[in-house]
């Protein structure tokens, strides 16, 4: 089975359970890695097992010659596909920018395929007098300016 045929099978299996493909790798050492997720909620272990078995079935007797890893991407993995951006609208993210290595943290408010909008609250000095005040900030960032975006978990 070719790389393309196997990837098509993975897409079909994931679509049947309402999931999407985050990453698919098949290398010369016969290692197959598949990362998948759901738009709503999280992909279950049963769904991942079903996908793994579908891959094994497609490979037939050759499946013994392959190492197959099927998983969700993990909570600290960078976003790779548009569906991940859409899924995480409304959640806290950390965005590393290409220019100067700056990092923005905030709520992912929107994603349109070309840019994202972040909102956050910042403490700034009062215009007059002592002390600080909260100011709501917002920034639109082109995806071409983003080197990496991950969920920002607070433990």
Report strand pairing: 67-71 vs 31-38. Answer: parallel
Considering the entire predicted model, what is its pTM? 0.84
The SS3 assignment for 11 reads helix
Query: Domains (ranges, CATH) in the chain?
Result: 3-71 (3.30.300), 82-151 (2.30.30.100)
Per-residue model confidence (pLDDT) at position 53: 94
Q: Is 127 exposed, middle or buried (0-12, 13-18, 19+ CB in 10 A)?
A: exposed
Question: By percentage, how much of the chain surpasses pLDDT 70?
Answer: 100
Question: What residues contact residue 92 under an 8 Å CB cut-off, 6+ apart?
Answer: 105, 106, 107, 108, 151, 152, 153, 154
> Which pLDDT tens digit goes with each residue over 72-119?
998 889 999 999 999 999 999 999 999 888 999 999 999 999 999 999
């Amino acid at each position: 089975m070719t790389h393309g045929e196997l990837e098509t099978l993975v897409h079909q299996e994931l679509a049947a359970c309402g999931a999407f493909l985050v990453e698919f790798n098949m290398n010369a050492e016969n290692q197959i890695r598949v990362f998948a997720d759901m738009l709503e909620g999280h992909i279950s272990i049963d769904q991942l097992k079903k996908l793994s078995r579908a891959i094994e079935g497609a490979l037939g007797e050759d499946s013994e010659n392959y190492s197959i890893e099927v998983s969700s991407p993990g909570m600290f993995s960078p976003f790779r596909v548009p569906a991940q951006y859409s899924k995480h609208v409304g959640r806290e993210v950390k965005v590393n920018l290409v220019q100067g290595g700056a990092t923005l943290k905030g709520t992912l408010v929107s994603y349109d395929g070309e840019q994202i909008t972040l909102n956050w609250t910042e403490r700034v000095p009062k215009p007059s007098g002592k002390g600080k005040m909260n100011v709501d900030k917002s920034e639109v960032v082109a995806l071409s300016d983003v080197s990496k975006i991950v969920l920002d978990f607070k433990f």
